Amino acid sequence: MDIINFEQKIKSLTEENDKLIAFKNDYASAKQSLNRMSSRLRKLCKRLTPTNEIVIEMQNISKEIKNLVKDATTQD
């Protein structure tokens, strides 16, 4: 009886571990993408002259990045 319970517990823990590994990989990938996007945006900002139109567009991109970060960090 105990052996069956332990086997079921091992199976459920193994499945949970697989889910956590998949989440960790997805999180690392999303983090890497955001870092690359942030780096590209900084490089782009250095090359542009700060007109109102460009500043507004950069602010919109910044808001989009913040929303992506918020979504990535609040997922269950």
Residue range of the domain that includes 46: 2-74
55 has a pLDDT exceeding 70? yes
Domain count, the chain: 1
Structure letter (DSSP) for residue 48: S
Write down the residue that tokens 């250095």 correspond to: 46
Taking residues 2-10, what's their average pLDDT? 92
pLDDT of residue 75: 62
CA angle 37, 64, 68 (to 5 degrees): 75
Taking residues 61-66, what's their average pLDDT? 83
pLDDT of residue 10: 95
65 contact partners, CB below 8 Å, separation of at least 6: 34, 37, 38, 41
